[in-house]
């Protein structure tokens, strides 16, 4: 099944390859989107299409990645 969720305004790809571009990261049912035009980082619930959270980092991210939470091994 394909679903379209509008998150960002339409934009033109910049000619300068070093300018920030939208970035996308998906984990489970949450998609994180970086909007370089507003400088915001948005969390989108892909099932509902709603935006449960957003933040404005001090600098606009130029990429997104994440790591799984590390849980230490139980001591024996």
pLDDT score for 61: 76
Average pLDDT over residues 50-67: 83
What span, in angstroms and rounded, lies between the C-alpha atoms of 54 and 21? 17
CA angle (12 as vertex; 3, 34 as ends), nearest 5 = 60
Selected residue with higher pLDDT from 47 and 20: 47
Chain-centroid distance, C-alpha 66: 10
pLDDT score for 44: 93
Residue carrying structure tokens 């024996």: 76
pLDDT score for 76: 58
- Model confidence over 5-31: pLDDT tens digits? 888 888 888 788 777 788 888 888 999
């Amino acid at each position: 099944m394909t679903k379209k969720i509008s998150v960002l305004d339409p934009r033109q790809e910049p000619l300068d390859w070093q300018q920030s571009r939208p970035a996308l990261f998906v984990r489970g049912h949450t998609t994180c989107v970086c909007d370089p035009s507003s400088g915001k980082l948005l969390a989108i619930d892909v099932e509902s299409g709603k935006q449960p959270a957003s933040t404005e980092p001090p600098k606009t991210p130029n990429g997104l990645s994440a790591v799984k939470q590390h849980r230490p091994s139980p001591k024996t």
